[in-house]
Structure 1
Amino acid sequence: MDLDTLDLSRLQFAVTALYHFLFVPLTLGLSVLLAVMETVYVMTGRIIWRQMTKFWGTLFGINFVVGVATGIVMEFQFGMNWSYYSHYVGDIFGAPLAIEGLMAFFLEATFVGLFFFGWDKLSKVGHLITTWAVAIGSNFSALWILIANGWMQNPVGSAFNPQTMRMEITDFFAVVTNPVAQAKFVHTVSAGYVTASIFVLGVSAWYLLKGRHVELAKRSMTVAASFGLAASLSVVVLGDESGYLTTEHQKMKIAAMEAMWETEPAPAAFTLFGFPSEKDRETHFAVRVPWMLGLIATRSLNTQIPGINELVTHAEGRIRSGIIAFDALQQIRAAGSDARIPPAARQAFEDNGRDLGYALLLKRYLDDPRKASDADIRRAARDTVPNVPTLFWSFRFMVGLGFFFIAFTATFFLLSARRLLDRYRPLLWLAVFAIPLPWIAAELGWVVAEVGRQPWSIEGVLPTAAAVSSLGAATVLTTLAGFVVIYTVLLGVEMALMLRAIRKGPEADDAPETNLVPSSLVAAE
């Protein structure tokens, strides 16, 4: 295999995924904010809330369309650049994606049309149901995609079939209820809610600075600050749960995130700051907090977290076990029928089959893992260490931004409660300039999750180097360049349309104002 093809295929998928993920968080968050705003409109009859729903709905629609366009390419890449991956795990990985398209995306896409064109054709309650259907569909779509992604991180409910040479589902319920997938889902959608809240706060702050659409801006900021504070707090709590599960299922990822080269006595210290060096295999100028990592990652004082060096040694043992499984697999396939399979080969595969993926790490260097030398095994074991500096810094910047969002949304929540949103212009400017920060945090989260899984496409089952298609590097490079150009144009178009809609502002709404709640509550609102 041409290694350039592997690197370029990984880069292409990373580029398209990162571009696509620029649109996903805003779709998730804005859909729920729209439903909240329209609920207030239906309850109070105040036209300003209908106007708010329509205005932010326009921005949601622009983002939704471009997000769909960039997302379609993602699924085609599995067959195009990762053909062996699709063959090996397609029965499992494809099921959640198919369900997502049939159950969630069709629901969302259908009701998006009704949301935009049904204002004067549906009753208030009917249109409100439509808006909530859009929000539920958007989030339900994320659920199934993250079930698929969660299985890549923690492949439960499946088994390898030596006759078909494929992974097959043994327990679909286990795939759906995968704890890693569920933690990723709630963490990801909460991050989307934060993104939408900061976006609404920033745009509304710009209106207040310009003295335009003041009533709409203040109400939007009140909703966004409340929603954003709750979401920011949940991101931290749910991120802690995700980290706990990572410690249990992806020990190398947690060790690389913490640049923890050697195993420490429990409970391990947390490194606040430092400079990890893969060459020296140590972290220079480390500032550490005793016990903190052990308490966060294991929720105990006596559970040990293995370091990178110990995990590499453990990987060597699993590679040797995997070679035994690989040899037994060749005998099983050569037998041709169950009756002719040597009992020793069957037993050897049953005993060592769970480590078959580790033997496949050697396929990057030689065709037959059984011919691997000790040096080859040590080299493949070292490949199980992801890029430590990238993970170390990505995680810390992401966490730092997460705590900033809590303080930021709490500040605006207090200002909205005291009706002082327009009193502090520096804070309003901060809100405007803070708009890109949730996207940066979300992209860093993607880097932590996906780079931290390397060298695996399916954790412990299928190495990335074995999953790639046998394409020429020139072919992949050409399509990579094409995607970069097209996606950059789409991003530019979306930003231009967004800025145009924001400059234009909300349109006047001539719908009659009706009160559906007692006048005292309307006055308080």
Structure 2
Amino acid sequence: MDPTDIARWQFAIITVYHFLFVPITIGLSAMIAGYETAWIRTGNEHWLRLTKFFGKLFLINFALGVVTGIVQEFQFGMNWSDYSRFVGDIFGAPLAVEGLLAFFLESTFLGLWIFGWDRLPAKAHAACMWLVHLGTLFSAYFILAANSWMQHPVGYRFNPETGRAEMNDFAAVLFNKVQLVTFPHVVLSAYMTGAAFVVGIAFWHLRKASRASKAQDVKLYTRAVRTGAAVLLVAGLGVAASGDVQGKIMTEVQPMKMAAAEGLYDTETSADFSLLTIGSLDGSEEKFAITIPGLLSWLGTGSTDGTVAGINQLREQYQDTYGQDPGEKYYSPGDYTPIIPLTYWTFRIMIGLGLLAAAIAGWILLATRRGRVPQGRLILWSAIALPFLPLFANSFGWIFTEMGRQPWAVFGLMTTAQSVSPGVSTFEAATSLIVLTLIYTVLGVVEVRLLMTYIRRGADEIEPPDESEPGADKPLAFAY
């Protein structure tokens, strides 16, 4: 393996690992803020117990997310220096705003939320978590603006003297049409993930409380299960709607990605959607397919009679536009085709897991009506598996998004092979890959151990304040 291979693996491992924490952070912060607001409005102690319980789990996840996110920045300097030099003038502004505004908003008000119990007025304390959630949304927006520029470069000019892309329209970068459809899709999928996290944990405790005949805990966890399932289901509908719009924009700006996602080799009018396609080993043609008539045209163009470009025709078009050799060793000269089986299956796994998560949420809502506690083993294991479904759907979605753009790092401007650091040796790249993978493995063990410890404990009972220690900060005290 050469440095490019290793740099790709390192980027994939670090990015996918980091994004396991991001959607939970976004979604769970909204759930916690909602629970605390419900407590203030109703005075029901159950909402306060849920706030504190999931607040502890949120803090564990947030801390690991921050640690793994910092490495993201370092790896650009280590393995992708040519890429960093090329896009630095574009990415500098949105990422600086993300760091100075969004991250500081999150960290400042999260600190106030942690240490403000019994010190801040209840409404001000709840507002802190809403501001933390707002910070996560700002952070997502500015980071996605940078990524959307990679998918569809706008608001720039190329400087031939420096060999860099230079921003000339900040608003165009921030309001890129890819960004405007990507942001709601990502945030809604994060709501699905956070809600699924709540449902899976609460359902397990609900069953325990039911068998132990703890009536108050049954009510408590029923509330968590039903609110989480409702949020998941509604967010799932939003993900489907935003994904439909995103697919049409993707067909417009990156037609090869859509063609690869569908295994569509030749341009078709009224193109069918492939449920299963088997192609030749070299990915050059279709051998067998199970399809839904006209659905692909509707997904890509909004009309069942729309025309969707095929892989073979787009390859020829890209050769005419960008030249015969993209400088990418993974593809034959002038191919410009992503790895079709990878894009095809990640696209379907993403959709399938999302639909399954929404279906399970709907099932749980029906099964828990009127205070019922379903006892079947199937629904229990479905609920326990539920947090992993949107979580992995997010990961497969990002793998599809980034791999479907290949061989481009910045679409139409810079290939991935041209982006790698020229001065990094195979040994240096391999060393950083091994070290970071081992560190992330250790962090993963710590994360799981901490989460499982506090999940097993469940929601603590609310203790009356200790008058001898006014303002004592007890609600989020950790003991390990």
The TM-score, its normalising length taken from structure 1, stands at 0.84
Structure 2: distance between partners of 1:208 and 1:129: 29
Which amino acid in 1 is paired with 2:218? Answer: V
Structure 1: distance between partners of 2:464 and 2:165: 57
Contact kept in structure 2, 1:198 and 1:435, CA below 8 Å:
yes
Give ranges in structure 2 of 5+ residues lacking alignment.
Answer: 466-480
What's the offset of the Cα at 1:148? 0.7
Structure 1: distance between partners of 2:142 and 2:436: 25
Pick the aligned partner of 1:506 from 417, 435, 459: 459
Contact kept in structure 2, 1:394 and 1:447, CA below 8 Å:
yes
Structure 2: distance between partners of 1:152 and 1:503: 43
Q: Which residue of 2 aligns with 1:194?
A: 192
1:290-326: CA deviation from partner (whole Å, max 9, x where unpaired): 1110011111244321111111111221134xxxxxx
Contact kept in structure 2, 1:209 and 1:425, CA below 8 Å:
no
Matched residue of 1:380: which SS? coil
Contact kept in structure 2, 1:277 and 1:389, CA below 8 Å:
no
1:176-218: CA deviation from partner (whole Å, max 9, x where unpaired): 0011112111111111111111111111111122226323211
Matched residue of 1:413: which SS? helix
Structure 1: distance between partners of 2:283 and 2:337: 14
Q: Which residue of 1 aligns with 2:303?
A: 300
Pick the aligned partner of 1:447 from 399, 403, 418: 399
Q: Which residue of 2 aligns with 1:219?
A: 223
Percent identical among aligned pairs is 43
Pick the aligned partner of 2:342 from 378, 387, 390: 390
Change (3 A) 1:489 1:297: same
Q: How does 1:307-386 map to 2 (within 5 A)?
A: 307-320=310-323, 361-362=326-327, 379-382=332-335, 384-386=336-338
Structure 1: distance between partners of 2:167 and 2:109: 33
Residue 207, structure 1, aligned to residue 205, structure 2: yes
Q: Name the count of aligned residue pairs.
A: 457
Matched residue of 1:467: which SS? coil
Q: Which residue of 2 aligns with 1:254?
A: 258
What's the offset of the Cα at 1:457? 0.7
Q: Which residue of 2 aligns with 1:89?
A: 87
Residue 279, structure 1, aligned to residue 282, structure 2: yes
What's the offset of the Cα at 1:281? 1.7
Residue 64, structure 1, aligned to residue 62, structure 2: yes
What's the offset of the Cα at 1:438? 1.8
Contact kept in structure 2, 1:104 and 1:137, CA below 8 Å:
yes
Matched residue of 1:487: which SS? helix
Pick the aligned partner of 1:477 from 413, 416, 430: 430
1:207-241: CA deviation from partner (whole Å, max 9, x where unpaired): 12222632321111121011111111111111111
1:463-491: CA deviation from partner (whole Å, max 9, x where unpaired): 11111101101110110011110001111
Task: Tell which deviates more after alignment, 391-400 or 66-75.
Answer: 391-400
What's the offset of the Cα at 1:163? 2.3
What's the offset of the Cα at 1:429? 2.8
Structure 1: distance between partners of 2:30 and 2:368: 20
Matched residue of 1:386: which SS? coil
Q: Which residue of 1 aligns with 2:408?
A: 456
Q: Which residue of 2 aligns with 1:372?
A: none
Matched residue of 2:461: which SS? coil
Pick the aligned partner of 2:372 from 410, 415, 420: 420
Pick the aligned partner of 2:382 from 408, 427, 430: 430
Pick the aligned partner of 1:185 from 183, 186, 196: 183
Contact kept in structure 2, 1:29 and 1:196, CA below 8 Å:
yes
Structure 2: distance between partners of 1:188 and 1:167: 27
Give ranges in structure 1 of 5+ residues lacking alignment.
Answer: 321-357, 366-377, 513-525
Q: Which residue of 1 aligns with 2:474?
A: none
Change (3 A) 1:301 1:215: closer
Which amino acid in 1 is paired with 2:297? Answer: G
Structure number with greater Rg is: 1
Q: Which residue of 2 aligns with 1:333?
A: none
Matched residue of 2:371: which SS? coil
Structure 2: distance between partners of 1:186 and 1:276: 34
Task: Tell which deviates more after alignment, 289-298 or 434-443.
Answer: 434-443
Pick the aligned partner of 1:410 from 345, 359, 362: 362
What's the offset of the Cα at 1:381? 1.4
Contact kept in structure 2, 1:208 and 1:422, CA below 8 Å:
no
Residue 289, structure 1, aligned to residue 283, structure 2: no
Structure 1: distance between partners of 2:368 and 2:129: 26
What's the offset of the Cα at 1:402? 1.7
1:247-299: CA deviation from partner (whole Å, max 9, x where unpaired): 000011001001111112x1211111122335262233200111110011111
Structure 1: distance between partners of 2:54 and 2:78: 37
Which amino acid in 1 is paired with 2:439? Answer: I
The TM-score, its normalising length taken from structure 2, stands at 0.92
What's the offset of the Cα at 1:422? 3.8
What's the offset of the Cα at 1:417? 4.0
What's the offset of the Cα at 1:427? 1.4
Change (3 A) 1:95 1:276: farther
Contact kept in structure 2, 1:25 and 1:193, CA below 8 Å:
yes
Structure 1: distance between partners of 2:340 and 2:281: 7
Contact kept in structure 1, 2:113 and 2:125, CA below 8 Å:
yes
What's the offset of the Cα at 1:379? 3.7
Structure 2: distance between partners of 1:81 and 1:432: 38
Contact kept in structure 2, 1:62 and 1:494, CA below 8 Å:
yes
1:312-358: CA deviation from partner (whole Å, max 9, x where unpaired): 111221134xxxxxxxxxxxxxxxxxxxxxxxxxxxxxxxxxxxxx8
1:44-80: CA deviation from partner (whole Å, max 9, x where unpaired): 1112211110100000000000000000010111121
Q: How does 1:110-149 map to 2 (within 5 A)?
A: 110-149=108-147
Contact kept in structure 1, 2:356 and 2:389, CA below 8 Å:
no
Change (3 A) 1:309 1:63: same
Matched residue of 2:69: which SS? helix
Change (3 A) 1:128 1:280: closer
What's the offset of the Cα at 1:124? 0.7
Q: Which residue of 2 aligns with 1:163?
A: 161
What's the offset of the Cα at 1:414? 2.8
Point out the structure with the larger helix share.
1
Structure 2: distance between partners of 1:138 and 1:319: 38
Contact kept in structure 1, 2:272 and 2:295, CA below 8 Å:
yes
What's the offset of the Cα at 1:419? 2.5
Matched residue of 2:401: which SS? helix
Residue 400, structure 1, aligned to residue 352, structure 2: yes
Structure 1: distance between partners of 2:93 and 2:369: 47
Change (3 A) 1:205 1:9: same
What's the offset of the Cα at 1:434? 2.7
Residue 99, structure 1, aligned to residue 103, structure 2: no
Change (3 A) 1:444 1:418: same
Structure 2: distance between partners of 1:132 and 1:83: 37
